[in-house]
Amino acid sequence: MNALTAHSRDTPQFYLTAPSPCPYLKGQFERKVFTHLVGEQAAPLNDLLTHGGFRRSQTIAYRPACEGCRACVSVRVRVDDFLWTKAFRRNRAVNCDLVSAEVGVTPTSEQYSLFRAYLDRRHADGGMVDMTVMDYATMVEDSHVRTGLVEYRRRGPDTAINGRGAGPLLAVALVDRLSDGLSLVYSFYDPDAQDRGLGTHVILDHVARAKTLGLPYLYLGYWVDGSPKMDYKRRFRPQEFLAPAGWTLREGE
């Protein structure tokens, strides 16, 4: 590899997408700035860009760059000061029979079946609804950063020995490990288990995981002002948002 090729591989090049309909705000158009996360510098670059408001999707790091709109705001939860509300404690009690286990980055047919059911029932009009099993495998495996899957199942007879649950798969989270926190890349769960609040449970579990690992933050991606489907993220407090002057604690928190 010559010096020019090595330089271009290790130095990120940024690109801007063409305008496309916004998936969160009706009548708006989105643009994104993105770069590739490849090579030996992918992990530290992912750290740096996440701190700057980027999100990861496979080997791409991106952030909104929309003209005249700043509704998308990067948010992260302060783990050490997390407020365990009555609703959160109740969610943990309802799901006390569940066990979460890290399973590496090996996609399975069982995961895809759950992923497919989740999309069809919860996001039938979303941009991911046409993803095939190969697309799902690529989403999981195509990464040059420290990432992994966490599976959620009911507690089984051997849980005390192997640390894993048993029975049907109820939820899955794809999570990146950063220098100062965990970043929830994507999660999905059984749409028939509505009484469990599994989406909330996955976030609460990763608050606890980050605290156990001694990591101060849990990155939740973008909160979108004016989008009801993203408003749930405001419930996880205290929360910082990325402002022009840097990460800032939300008022009243």
Residues 191 and 123 in one domain: yes
For the whole model, what pTM was predicted? 0.90
Q: How far apart are CA 55 and CA 126, in angstroms?
A: 18
Q: Is residue 133 a contact partner of residue 190, using CB atoms and an 8 Å limit?
A: no
Identity of residue 20: S
Residues 177 and 117 in one domain: yes
Say how many CA atoms lie within 13 Å of 80 toward its Cβ. 6
Residues 88 and 68 in one domain: no
Residues 87 and 57 in one domain: no
DSSP per-residue codes, 72-110: EEEEEEESTT----HHHHHHHHHTTTEEEEE-TT---HH
Helix residue ranges, H only, 172-239: 198-212
Please give the structure tokens belonging to residue 216: 């101060």
CA 155 centroid distance within chain: 24
Q: How far apart are CA 203 and CA 243, in angstroms?
A: 23
Residue range(s) defining the domain that contains residue 167: 83-221
Q: Residue 123 maps to which CATH number? A: 3.40.630.30
Q: Look at residue 54 and tell me if it is in a domain.
A: yes
Q: Is 137 exposed, middle or buried (0-12, 13-18, 19+ CB in 10 A)?
A: middle
Nearest to 173 by CA among 142, 145, 144, 139: 139
pLDDT in tens, the chain (253 residues): 343 344 445 678 999 999 999 988 989 999 999 999 998 899 999 999 999 999 999 999 999 999 889 999 999 999 999 999 999 999 999 999 999 999 999 999 999 999 999 999 887 676 777 889 999 999 999 999 999 999 999 998 888 888 888 899 999 999 999 999 999 999 999 999 989 999 999 999 999 999 999 999 999 999 998 888 889 999 999 999 999 999 999 876 5
Instruction: Name the strand (E) or helix (H) holding 182.
Output: strand 181-189
Q: How far apart are CA 59 and CA 50, in angstroms?
A: 13
Residues 187 and 151 in one domain: yes
Domain count, the chain: 2
